[in-house]
């Protein structure tokens, strides 16, 4: 059960990070560039206000006032350009930091867990729910699928005789895990479980997005 809960949490955290990546600039501005982003927005509003005021003034009838407003608009344009450059550089640095954090705390641990504990049973399903030929893949991961052609050649083509597929048990599994595997259930290993859960979450997200027309 702890492994089941941990994998669910990890998959949803990865999905949350993926969703937030679409709003990366907003996240970066909130965490690192709050002042620069708010200042840029404030200058933009001020510039728009001055521009509208300038448009309401006749350059022919009120030339001095129009010139003064035009000078202020030009100064704001220069400040806006400077702030945009500063914010872009700040976002670039923050994106690099976020990428490093994502790699260190999510990508690497998940890959290590898949390779190191990928064959550890996480959940069990009733035996026979899937075709028997798929049970080794469910219990041992994608490596079992890659070895299927070689196993077929050894057992069928070379005439060593078919092997009866028994329950799949991860190497080093505890006694209660072995007993569970020998019952009428088929284990699903961590690697396959995380892959399947990710696909389910992605499909659910697509369905919700289509229904909501997001």
Q: 42 and 85: one domain?
A: yes
Q: Which of 116, 142, 165 is the last residue of a domain?
A: 116
Distance separating alpha carbons of residues 80 and 62, to the nearest angstrom: 27
**Each residue's pLDDT tens digit, 117-146:** 888 888 888 888 888 778 788 888 777 777
Residue 11 lies in a domain: no
Is 82 a domain residue? yes
| Domain end call among 89, 116, 143 | 116
Clarify whether residues 155 and 204 are in a common domain: yes
Nearest to 133 by CA among 155, 148, 122: 148
What is the DSSP secondary-structure string of 170-200? -TT--HHHHHHHHSSEEEEEHHHHHHHHHHH
Mean pLDDT for 164-192 is 60
| 106 and 128 co-located in one domain | no
Q: What does 112-129 look like in DSSP terms, one character per residue?
A: HHHHHSTTSEEEEEETTS
Domain containing 164: what range? 121-212
- CA–CA gap between residue 81 and residue 43 (Å, rounded): 10
The domain total for the chain is 2
Domain assignment present for 97: yes
pLDDT of 88 above 60: yes
Q: Are 111 and 154 part of one and the same domain?
A: no
Please count the other Cβ atoms lying within 10 Å of the Cβ belonging to residue 195.
15
Give the pTM.
0.53
Angstrom distance (rounded) from CA 176 to CA 1? 13
CB 125 within 8 A of CB 186: yes
Domain boundary among 98, 116, 134: 116
Alpha carbon separation from 123 to 64, 133, 185, 191, 199 (Å, rounded): 79, 19, 10, 11, 17
Q: For residue 13, is it within any domain?
A: no
User: What confidence score (pLDDT) does residue 180 get?
Assistant: 45
- Asked if residue 139 and residue 55 are part of one domain, the reply reads no
Its sign, for the CA torsion 156, 161, 167, 171, is negative
Residue 10 placed within a domain: no
Mean per-residue pLDDT over the chain, rounded? 76
Strands 185-189 and 121-126, how do they pair?
antiparallel
5 domain residue, yes or no? no
Give residue-wise pLDDT tens across range 25-83. 676 667 666 677 778 888 888 888 888 888 888 877 788 888 888 888 888 888 888 88
Is 77 among the domain residues?
Answer: yes
Which pLDDT score, from 0 to 100, does residue 95 have? 78
With 0-12 / 13-18 / 19 or more C-beta atoms within 10 angstroms meaning exposed / middle / buried, residue 57 is: middle
């Amino acid at each position: 059960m702890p492994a089941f809960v941990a994998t669910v949490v990890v998959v949803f955290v990865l999905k949350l990070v993926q969703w937030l990546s679409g709003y990366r600039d907003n996240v970066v501005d909130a965490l690192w560039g709050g002042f620069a982003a708010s200042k840029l927005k404030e200058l933009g509003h001020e510039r728009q206000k001055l521009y509208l005021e300038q448009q309401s003034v006749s350059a022919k009838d009120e030339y001095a006032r129009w010139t003064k407003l035009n000078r202020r608009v030009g100064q704001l344009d220069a400040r806006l350009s400077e702030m945009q450059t500063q914010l872009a550089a700040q976002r670039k640095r923050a994106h690099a930091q976020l990428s490093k954090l994502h790699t260190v705390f999510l990508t690497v641990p998940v890959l290590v867990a898949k390779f190191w504990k990928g064959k550890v049973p996480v959940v069990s399903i009733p035996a026979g729910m899937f075709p028997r030929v798929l049970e080794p893949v469910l219990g041992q991961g994608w490596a079992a699928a890659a070895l299927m052609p070689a196993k077929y050649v050894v057992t069928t083509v070379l005439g060593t005789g078919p092997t009866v597929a028994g329950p799949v048990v991860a190497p080093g599994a505890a006694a209660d895990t072995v007993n569970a595997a020998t019952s009428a259930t088929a284990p699903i290993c961590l690697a396959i479980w995380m892959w399947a859960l990710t696909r389910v979450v992605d499909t659910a997200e697509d369905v919700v997005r289509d229904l909501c027309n997001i």
